[in-house]
Amino acid sequence: MTHNGSAPYALQADRIWFAYRNHNWVLRDISLSIPAGKHTVIMGPSGTGKTTLLRVLAGILRSNEGRVSVFGQPTQELDRRHLSSLIGYIPQQLGLVRNLSALDNVLMGALGRIGDGQALLGLFPRDEIEKAQAALDMMGIAHKSSEQVFHMSGGERQRVAIARTLLQHPRVVVADEFASDLDLALASEILARIRRAAEKENITFIMSMHRFGLARQFGDEVLALQNAEIVRGFIGNEILETEQFDPTP
């Protein structure tokens, strides 16, 4: 399916159902279309399945029914390397390796492009190292590249995670509860940087969030997930003016 026949949707979920066990559905018959180049925020109370939805959209979990496509290609039919060139994923706790430096963590974004032998020896091509440095620079922490993630602050870790995903060069990034643990000013600054990076690299972002203010700042579109179903989609400012649902837990 395409948008006006030319611009395709970045991600589409077509009637997906998901249960971790038996028929205890976490997601029920969910369909959604994320336009390419737009940033979508998914909101909803805790325990409604936002994380599960994002993991299914990112191709990490496979839905029981229905299918997810990225730029028209069903994620189930793509191998891991091909999928990684299309979708990047940042889990809620960021998934950084604490014992390694920021630069090493960012370089992991290039693993899908380099061979096992080279990677095992830790020999990344020079241009990948330069691109990793540039990604850290774009996030404003180039000077921390050799610091261990273990010693970094929450905000710095968020930037490292984004830089890793930028090096991966995906066309879509799925991020779970991004910037949730940060104070408002810092979260706002990081999200502004992400928007700039996304525009420069032409990346479509999908994030779950629980703070309205940040969702309005970052999202072009806001979707609400309630009772295992997408209940409403909002664009821009409408969210505050018309919506009654309470996104906080």
Partner 1 sequence: MKSTLLLLIATALFLLAVLGHLGFFDWERLARGFRNLGILGRDLIPPDIGILPTAAAALWETVEMSFAGTLLGFLASFPLSILGTRRLFSPWLSGFARFVAAGIRTIPVLLWAIVFVILVGLGPLAGTFGIAAYTVGYLAKIYADLFEGTDPEILEAVKSTGASKLQLVRFVIIPEAANAILAQVLFMLEYNIRASSILGFVGAGGLGFVIQIYLQSLDYRRLATVLLLVLVVVLAMDGLSAWLRKHFLLSTQAS
Q: For residue 73, what are its two tokens?
A: 């290609």
CB of 228 to partner 1, least distance (A): 22
CB of 49 to partner 1, least distance (A): 17
CB of 173 to partner 1, least distance (A): 10
CB of 199 to partner 1, least distance (A): 22
What CA–CA distance (Å, rounded) separates 61 from 130? 33
CB of 70 to partner 1, least distance (A): 13
Helix, strand, coil shares of the chain as percentages rounded to 5?
A: 40, 25, 35
How far is C-alpha 69 from the chain's CA centre?
15
Q: Where do the DSSP E strands lie in 152-203?
A: 172-175
| Count of residues engaged in binding partner 1, rule: CB under 8 A | 39
Cβ proximity to partner 1: between 71 and 212 the closer is: 71
CB of 138 to partner 1, least distance (A): 18
Residues 191-230 that bind partner 1 (CB under 8 A): none
- Measured over the CA atoms of residue 171, residue 233, residue 45 and residue 53, the dihedral's sign is negative
The piece of 29-37, 40-48, 126-134, 161-169 that touches partner 1 (CB under 8 A) is 161-169
9, containing H or E segment:
strand 7-19
40 contacts 221 by C-beta, under 8 angstroms: yes
34 contacts 233 by C-beta, under 8 angstroms: no
Binder among 13, 16, 26, 96 for partner 1 (CB under 8 A): 96
What CA–CA distance (Å, rounded) separates 172 from 203? 5
226 contacts 44 by C-beta, under 8 angstroms: yes
Residues 39-78 that bind partner 1 (CB under 8 A): 58-60
Residue 126 interacts with partner 1 (CB under 8 A): yes or no: no
Binder among 11, 13, 34, 90 for partner 1 (CB under 8 A): 90
Of 112, 205, 114, 221, nearest to 162 by C-alpha is: 205
Binder among 32, 87, 163, 228 for partner 1 (CB under 8 A): 87
What CA–CA distance (Å, rounded) separates 112 from 164? 12
Beta bridge partners of 32: 13
Cβ proximity to partner 1: between 79 and 127 the closer is: 79
Cβ proximity to partner 1: between 83 and 225 the closer is: 83
Residue 92 interacts with partner 1 (CB under 8 A): yes or no: yes
Binding site for partner 1 (CB under 8 A): 58-60, 80-81, 83-85, 87-101, 104, 108-113, 116, 119-120, 122, 148, 150, 161, 164, 168
